[in-house]
Amino acid sequence: MASLQQAQNQVNRNLEQRRTHASRVESTLAREHIVKGKFLLQGAGEGLVELKFPVWFIEEPNMGGLGGVMYPGSEVIDGSYPTVSGSVLNWTLVEKTPRQYFTGCTLAVVTTGLPEQRMFVHYRFEGKAIVNPVNPVETADTVV
């Protein structure tokens, strides 16, 4: 019985050493990243937007900003000026031992203004992240 316990202890030590090594490698590769993008919202109202980040954040990223730019030629009238606000509803996570990675999110966006307006919504997320240099994720601008 003692040798079975010793073997189990050795397996546990080896596993912990692998986790520690992976964590050190990750810490070395992780850098501060800023992910910026935009999508086009057509009309005032509410909408959900799925964002996929081109990096994997190793901790929950900070939503550094959200703002709107009116589409060229959009009409604006007094009393109906456009506004935009948004919140992260949930994060897209990838679970990899020993941690989880933030790879995207669902953004809830609310705009006010005229029903026929068109607005580019710009977003910014920042935090510590790693990049996959072999197979980078592309982030395309979205029309909602």
Strand 118-130 relative to strand 142-143, pairing: unpaired
Q: Identify whether the C-beta of residue 35 lies closer than 8 Å to the C-beta of residue 55.
A: yes
Q: List domains and CATH numbers for the chain.
A: 31-143 (2.60.40)
pLDDT, tens only, 12-54 = 676 666 655 455 455 557 889 999 999 999 999 999 999 999 9
Adjacent-strand bridge partners of 69 = 120
- Say yes or no to pLDDT of 124 above 90: yes
The pLDDT assigned to 6 comes to 76
DSSP annotation of 75: -
Whole-prediction pTM: 0.72
CB-CB neighbours of 104 under 10 Å: 21
* 63 contacts: CB under 8 Å, gap ≥ 6: 88, 123, 124, 125
Among the ranges given (5-14, 32-41, 133-142), the one the predictor scored with the smallest mean pLDDT = 133-142
More confident residue, 21 or 114: 114
